[in-house]
């Protein structure tokens, strides 16, 4: 299995048909092609965990990089959790059943110690949680000595970039994709794998950071800059396509190959940065009383240095690593955890992180939260209905466009032992919101004006540094013996792949929310039977 993380499937299909991505086009022409969907309401933070566990966030427990600690009003980062997910990845089940696996750079994973095979985590991933690790441990030294580290580094975000900085970013992503292809071929050539998987995350960074450089409809699109830098997404996708072509040359003719685009990417949209103030104006939540300001008191020097260090471009930080080592206690200091912005003694709800496209609201329930105000049941239901009505009345003040598409109860979508750890309400921002509500670009901002009878006119400046963000849809292509080329008419869930792979490899494990893709499993079984009869 080869995966392209957070890519735009329409661009992939278009450029494949135009011959720009010839290796992907070759797979499409020879394989079964289908569209995929990530998990509703949680497709920003839960796509990969739901892929490899085959379960919903209500069962694996992961929805955002910053989550509420149960029974408190405190937040914790992913890396602070003893286990990233409550459910095991499907490759653990394969390994225990005696299958030999290679799991490379699957986002949002931990190392499965004792795996029958190999695993690398965060050699070249978009989301760096734990840092580069491998199983067995010695594999890390081999990878470093033969291939070095990925060109990008642990993070591609930056507060601002010049045109030269964007070009440097794209060049590093292209080189990183090539190097990842070389690494993949080296490990694949060791042979004997029952299941082999590599994920290309260079597309993820390119989409977040460079969307405005290739989208003429984006308010930050600059024709002159585009003529100089070209199309960053096309360049990065082409590098990944070339790497895929090289990898497939090492694949035996009797192997089945699955190419997956796990979730999508397009322009950034929504006004999530104003949702907190919206809740205040609706009196659903109230801000905390700020502590008195003590004049003349500055943040500690360590905090100032840490902020400056995190704000430096990745290449600059890399060149200063020798200096950083002597001051690691200050410069590598983790940013402080965000605090709850609402006053729990007065607020019936409060915001929890869930990405920028679908806002997360948690009810301040009696018996669940330390200072709960809402009684579960009829009172909470009535509050949710009223809040949803109020939110759906908010429009873009300039165009009259409804800015929130819908508001849904998480409990109406999912069931599971981790349900109470998720947001209770999901606020879906309207993807048709005018592009002016999208961040205008590095070093500039967009002014957003919202209005409704209850909130009046609310204006805010969107200075978010990403111009592209996720979409729920993706695609897959499957080729190999017994697989009939064509197009799958239905949409498969991202959770369907875990049971598909375990069944294809003869491993009986049925504790999934997803369903095996019957066209792949049945065709494989029919092919095996036909071979046996010969």
Q: Is the Cβ–Cβ distance between 12 and 237 less than 8 Å? A: yes
**Are residue 283 and residue 293 in the same domain, yes or no?**
no
Once rounded to an integer, what is the mean pLDDT over residues 34-54?
A: 97
**Are residue 303 and residue 354 in the same domain, yes or no?**
no
Residue-range definition of the domain harbouring residue 61: 2-267+468-533
478 φ/ψ angles, rounded to the nearest 5 degrees? -125, 130
Once rounded to an integer, what is the mean pLDDT over residues 278-304?
A: 70
254 φ/ψ angles, rounded to the nearest 5 degrees? -95, 10
pLDDT above 90 covers what percent of the chain?
A: 72
Give residue-wise pLDDT tens across range 462-474.
Answer: 877 889 999 999 9
The CATH number covering residue 529 comes to: 3.40.720.10
What tokens does 161 get?
């970039």
Q: Is the Cβ–Cβ distance between 447 and 438 less than 8 Å? A: no
Does residue 302 surpass a pLDDT of 50?
Answer: no
**Are residue 379 and residue 456 in the same domain, yes or no?**
yes
d(CA 133, CA 123): 8
Measured over the CA atoms of residue 200, residue 204, residue 210 and residue 214, the dihedral's sign is positive
**pLDDT at position 378, please?**
98
* Residue where a domain terminates, one of 339, 354, 381: 339
**Are residue 412 and residue 333 in the same domain, yes or no?**
no
Residue with the bigger pLDDT between 412 and 315: it is 412
pLDDT classification of 219: cutoffs 50, 70, 90: confident
pLDDT classification of 416: cutoffs 50, 70, 90: very high
If residue 189 lies in a helix (H) or strand (E), which one and from where to where?
none
d(CA 150, CA 247): 18
Say how far residue 313 (Cα) sits from the centre of its chain: 22
List the one residue out of 339, 470, 433 whose CA is nearest residue 41: 470
The burial class, CB within 10 Å (0-12 / 13-18 / 19+), for 180 is buried
**Are residue 411 and residue 323 in the same domain, yes or no?**
no
**Are residue 278 and residue 346 in the same domain, yes or no?**
yes
**Are residue 284 and residue 295 in the same domain, yes or no?**
no
488 cis-preceded (ω within 30 degrees of 0): no
Mean pLDDT of the chain, nearest integer: 89
Residue with the bigger pLDDT between 260 and 334: it is 260
Give residue-wise pLDDT tens across range 103-120.
Answer: 999 999 999 999 999 999
226 φ/ψ angles, rounded to the nearest 5 degrees? -65, -40
* Residue where a domain terminates, one of 462, 479, 497: 462
d(CA 404, CA 425): 13
**pLDDT at position 334, please?**
55
Number of independent structural domains in the chain: 3
**pLDDT at position 328, please?**
46
Does residue 332 surpass a pLDDT of 90?
Answer: no
């Amino acid at each position: 299995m080869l995966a392209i993380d957070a890519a735009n499937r329409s661009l992939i299909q278009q450029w494949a048909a135009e011959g720009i991505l010839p290796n992907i086009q070759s797979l499409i022409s020879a394989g079964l092609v289908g569209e995929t969907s990530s998990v509703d309401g949680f497709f920003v933070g839960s796509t990969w965990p739901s892929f490899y566990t085959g379960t919903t966030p209500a069962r694996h427990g992961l929805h955002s990089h910053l989550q509420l600690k149960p029974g408190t009003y405190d937040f914790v980062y992913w890396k602070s959790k003893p286990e990233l997910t409550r459910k095991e990845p499907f490759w653990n089940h394969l390994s225990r059943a005696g299958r030999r696996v290679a799991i490379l750079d699957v986002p949002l994973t931990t190392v499965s110690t004792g795996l029958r095979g190999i695993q690398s985590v965060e050699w070249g991933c978009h989301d760096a949680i734990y840092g580069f690790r491998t199983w067995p441990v010695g594999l890390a030294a081999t990878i470093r000595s033969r291939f070095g580290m990925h060109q990008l580094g642990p993070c591609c975000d930056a507060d601002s970039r010049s045109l030269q900085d964007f070009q440097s970013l794209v060049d590093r992503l292209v080189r990183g994709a090539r190097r990842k292809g070389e690494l993949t071929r080296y490990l694949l050539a060791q042979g004997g794998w029952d299941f082999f998987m590599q994920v290309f995350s260079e597309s993820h960074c390119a989409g977040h950071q460079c969307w405005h450089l290739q989208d003429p409809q984006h308010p930050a699109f600059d024709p002159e800059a585009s003529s100089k830098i070209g199309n960053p997404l096309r360049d990065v996708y082409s590098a990944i396509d070339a790497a895929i072509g090289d990898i497939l040359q090492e694949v035996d003719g009797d192997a089945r190959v699955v190419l997956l685009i796990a979730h999508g990417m397009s322009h950034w949209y929504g006004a999530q940065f104003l949702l907190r103030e919206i809740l205040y104006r609706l009196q659903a939540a109230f801000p905390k009383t700020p502590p008195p300001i003590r004049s003349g008191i500055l943040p500690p020097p360590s905090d100032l240095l840490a902020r400056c260090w995190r704000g430096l471009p990745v290449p600059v930080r890399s060149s200063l690593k020798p200096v950083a080592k002597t001051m690691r206690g200050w410069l590598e200091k983790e940013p402080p955890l965000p605090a709850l912005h609402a006053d729990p003694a007065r607020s019936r709800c409060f915001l929890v992180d869930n990405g920028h496209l679908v806002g997360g609201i948690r009810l301040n329930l009696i018996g669940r939260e330390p200072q709960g105000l809402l009684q579960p049941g009829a009172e909470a239901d009535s509050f949710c209905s009223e809040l949803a009505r109020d939110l759906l009345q908010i429009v873009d003040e300039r165009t009259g466009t409804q800015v929130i598409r819908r508001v849904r109860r998480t409990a109406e979508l999912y069931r599971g032992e981790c349900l109470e750890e998720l947001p209770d309400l999901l606020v879906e921002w309207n993807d048709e919101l005018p592009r002016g509500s999208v961040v205008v670009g590095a070093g500039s901002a967009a002014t957003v004006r919202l209005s409704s009878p209850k909130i009046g006119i609310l204006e805010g400046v969107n200075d978010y540094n990403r111009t592209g963000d996720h979409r729920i849809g993706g695609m897959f292509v499957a080729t190999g013996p017994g697989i009939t080329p064509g197009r799958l008419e239905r949409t498969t869930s991202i959770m369907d792949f875990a049971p598909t792979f375990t069944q294809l490899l003869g491993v009986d494990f049925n504790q999934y929310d997803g369903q095996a893709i019957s066209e792949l499993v049945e065709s494989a079984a029919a092919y095996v039977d036909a071979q046996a009869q010969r």
